[in-house]
Structure 1
Amino acid sequence: MIPFLDLQALNQRFEDEFQTAFKRVLAGGWFIQGDECRAFEADFASYCGVEQAIGVGNGLDALVLILRALLEVGRLQTGDEVLVPGNTFIATALAVSACGLRIRLVEPELSRYNLDPQEVESAIGQRTRVILAVHLYGRLADMTALAEIAQRHGLLLLEDAAQAHGASFGGRKAGAWGLAAGFSLFPGKPLGALGDGGVVTTSDAELATVMRSLQNYGSTIKYQHDRKGANSRLDELQAAFLRIKLKHLDADNQARHEISLRYRQGLDRSQFEVPDMPAEIEVHAWHLYVVRNANNRAALQEHLARAGVQTLIHYPTPIHRQAAYGELAGLSLPVTEMLSEQVLSLPIYPGLSAHQIDRVIDACNSFAAIHPNSSAREH
């Protein structure tokens, strides 16, 4: 079986460096918010091209801390509305809900599966205060257009960059487009820890100060608590591991890009809708390689499993169809709903061999030969 993601092989590449880092942290005897975390924060901020990065407990916390900080400093008020893409992982919405803000789901465009700027423009209402752009599957949303809309309407532009470590447009990386951005460092992400973790990026000094307080029980001075904070801190061992992996992130993203080229060239594109390729000035992190099949996704997934190819579906149930968001059940989001019914994610990660890539392509194309009317282009 070709695994959807081989985390063991991915991390074994750095085993010797991990062992050295582990011994260094163990010998140092300091395990929370020490030199390793500060060094990773500095490295990641420099990599993204921003002033500050703040290591936190996970990607959801990263988004919550951004929104809570904006509430603390008065740039947002409880009940303000946040525009969120309909097709995203539920964590994007949960962060908004956790902060007492209102969610308004917005349809994506089909070239990138990210927020459609025209739909964003149409969705702006009297209480709208934030555009929360998600760089889904590792590709930047149309941040140039969204930034122009945000500026024209006096809105805050934030990034959910959980899947887009290293993605860029015109040399400007994910995490450097909005007022602040939240990244997940979950093991399966392009830059993944060996446990859970997250990081916030921003060049806003006031927000950074407030977020550092909020993540540490509302305190900047021990036993002095100025805010009702939380406990969300990236530990020293994960930070040490991440510093090692960050050095290889661009090479890993390039490896994923080369696999995407092989898929695009080899897959029967009369039967599968494949991702558009980025322009020369754009870098796609290729966290996921998602194809669309209009009528037979379940059969396709079963066929690939029988052929020894593991696949996943991201995400089979949209936010407005989840029980947790029953209040949104009346929404009609046809593009979001179509994607939830049609998308299938193929293996894409560094170390996937040419033979394995060919097996994936052959398995897909053999299904297309059996089901010639399965193209997503029908929709």
Structure 2
Amino acid sequence: MNCKKQTPRVAQSSSTSTLLVKEEMSNTPLRASSLYSPPGPTHHRHHRRNHLFTLSFPITGSNPHTSLHHLATTSNNPDRRRSAVMSSGDGLRPPFQLNDESDFDRIASPDDGLLSVCGFGSLLSERSARSTFPDLVDFRVARLNGFRRVFAHTAPIFFERGIANPETKEISSLSVEPCKGETLIVTVFNIRKSEIPSFIEREHEFRFLAVLPETLDGKPFASPAVLCARFSDEEYLQIRCKGSQEVYFQRYGRYNIHKIWRDDILPCRVYLRHCVLAAKSLGDAAYNNFLDHTFLGDRKTTIREYLATTGSGIMEEEPPELLKTRSIWDVKLLESALGSRSGEGLGGKLEDPNSVLAELFLLSFAPPSGRNVSFD
């Protein structure tokens, strides 16, 4: 893959990482014949490494001195408790792929059943994360080396809610993919093992990777976190849909989506706006990192460049009309999500009204349980 060379903002280190996928992800989807197929019931877990290809690549390290430091918790007890996870089992080192629910056992704590999730788009917002995972714990800010964000796949929910624009190709959601020299500011939080099935269902189109983030001071986490990465259409059909065209139709085909992962589409305007606001809520370092390390499908145009040219006006647009007609449970969900911060609910003074409107819009995607909200 040709990764866009960014002007270094941080100091470099000589650390390396290993990605266990069949080949480095590129603009051309992987062939079905090269897929990592889940082993059948007669296979044992220790055989799985035979199905994977190990790819090593250098990554960058940094020690940014920003206001984000006070947001990154040093309470990593859940990570330390799970440190045994990485030294036991089949000995795989992150990044490695998680294909089904049983694979998530590799990174779940044997003590409390918690596992970590990486947020890189809408889940940069703690409010969004808590509206999706109400019982999450230990929300913190981290860095992830060797990956970049890309708007390069379609999301059915944008079509369901009428905010996709096929005519302008503004239909894309966000994922990440390996890229040498890139560093992302992400969030990490812990969820219960019992939430894995709903997590897989909600993030169905993604490749699940176990990755190893690090603190803002450059200290690697003691245990991996789940990251929603770029898939390919062939792998999605074979692995996630189990080869079923009917499953694919129910999720994508009925919206006339015949190709998920594309390089010729643009971000859904409403969703991009929300992601930018989510990053901004973490401070300047995360905000600038999102603008400069998130790309269109061409892998050349940064979101900063896009918002200054073709995408100008997106951040000034009003939220959709449907915000004005949502039922009362949306408001209650928003009050619950924001109450702990403002102390006054919707009737109080909120720091960022635009962010509140974006949050209410995101909550409008969810059923009354408030558990199916995120896009990354």
TM-score (norm 2): 0.31
Decide which structure has greater helix share.
1
